[in-house]
Structures are given as C-alpha cells and as structure tokens.
Structure 1
Amino acid sequence: MTKKRNKNPYGEVYALGQHISMSAHKARRVIDQIHGRSYEETLMILKLMPYRACYPIFKLVYSAAANASHNMGFNEASLVISKAEVNGGTTMKKLKSRAG
C-alpha cells in the first residue's frame, strides 16, 4: 500500500503553531501587521515590535520559510506571507482552593 502525496499546485508552504498559551486577540494584533508582506520585512517587523506574541509568530514564520527552502527549493527572499490566521484554543480553569 502506498500513500498519496498531495502536491500543492500553487507552491504554498505552511506551518502550524499549536498549544501556544496566549490570547488570540493579542496574537491577532501582531498577525494583522505582517499579512501580505515579504519574508525579510516580516522578520524585521517581528524583531522590532514590543509585544510578547511576536516571538512565537517569529518562530512560525521562520519554520515555514525553512520548510519552503528545504522541502520545495524556494528562495527565502522571494517568499510572501499570503495568509496568517489565529484561532482561539483551549481555556484553562483556574481554581482557588478554599476551606469548607
């Protein structure tokens, strides 16, 4: 039995970041700034922005570029962020222990 590999006809590469403990609203504030920009410009913006959400997003963009250059042979200078989205994840319940 062989597995079928779906080749992407548009040459799109993606990276998923899961289980990042951060508010989706705070991460969207950063994502909105990088949508539609080039790879190098995106890295520069993420390094200079003062938000805590920048570092996980920086790692994701860097990982997607590494996937593109290694797996598909793309040049990193020609990459563009075409789609970036943030969805809400699981919420943790915080309990205060009390007597009684």
Structure 2
Amino acid sequence: MNKIKSQAIAKYIRTSQHKSRRVLQQIQGKNYSDAILILKFMPYRVCKTISKTLESAFNNIKNISKENIDKKKVKIIDAYANKGPVLKRFQPRAQGRAFPIKKPTCHIVIKLEV
C-alpha cells in the first residue's frame, strides 16, 4: 500500500500565529490518536480549533481511502500556522487621542499521512 496524504486548512482563526505554533509543535510528528489526547488536556483556547482541523484532515484521509484506516497508523507529518490579516481597531483615549489595537489572525495547516 502506498502512502496516502491529506491536509486540512483552517483560515482566519482569531488568535496569533505564535500562540497556535506553541500548540502545533507539541503534536507534530505524533500519531492521530495521541495528538487528539494531547489537545484534549492542554489548557489553551486554540486547542479546540486545532482539534477540529485535525479531525477534518483525518476525515479527508478516510474519504480518499475506501478501506478502514487505523487511527494509530495515521501520522501528523506537518502542522504549522501562518500569519493571516490583522484586524485594526482603535481605543479612544483622553483628550481626543486614539490608541491602535491590533487583533491578529492566522491560518492553521495540518498534513497527515498513513
């Protein structure tokens, strides 16, 4: 059986790429079932989004392959977060001033392989 690859991309996630990368580095290279378990018990908000993206990538592999796939054999070959557009807002301050607020977004990419 040759190697089956799939990927899933979550775009415009409202968190910084630095916070996402911190979590993605923990699951990179692990198998699917271990990664889901790790994400379940991590205290970060972005873990829920990463779990959904990982699940989507796994479902993509299941759709490509017509046979039953063991979750322990599916490996995360690549997981990274790229910078997305920054939402720019302003906070009004005293005496007519305004301070900028930058709300970063990111794009999460997860690639799997059987």
- Provide Cα deviations, 1:62-89, integer angstroms capped at 9, x if missing partner: 0000111122236142100000111111
Contact 1:69 1:76 in 2 (8 A): no
Q: Which runs of 4+ in 1 moved over 2 A?
A: 71-74, 96-100
2:69 corresponding residue in structure 1 = 75
Q: Counterparts of 1:4-43 in structure 2 under 5 Å? A: 10-43=3-36
Q: Count residues in correspondence.
A: 92
Structure having the larger proportion of residues in strand: 2
- Provide Cα deviations, 1:41-67, integer angstroms capped at 9, x if missing partner: 000000010001101100000000011
TM-score by length of 1: 0.83
Q: Counterparts of 1:57-72 in structure 2 under 5 Å? A: 57-72=50-65
2:102 corresponding residue in structure 1 = none
Secondary structure, aligned partner of 1:66: helix
Structure having the larger proportion of residues in helix: 1
Unpaired stretches in structure 2, ≥5 consecutive residues: 98-114
Q: State the superposition RMSD in angstroms.
A: 1.9
1:91 corresponding residue in structure 2 = 86
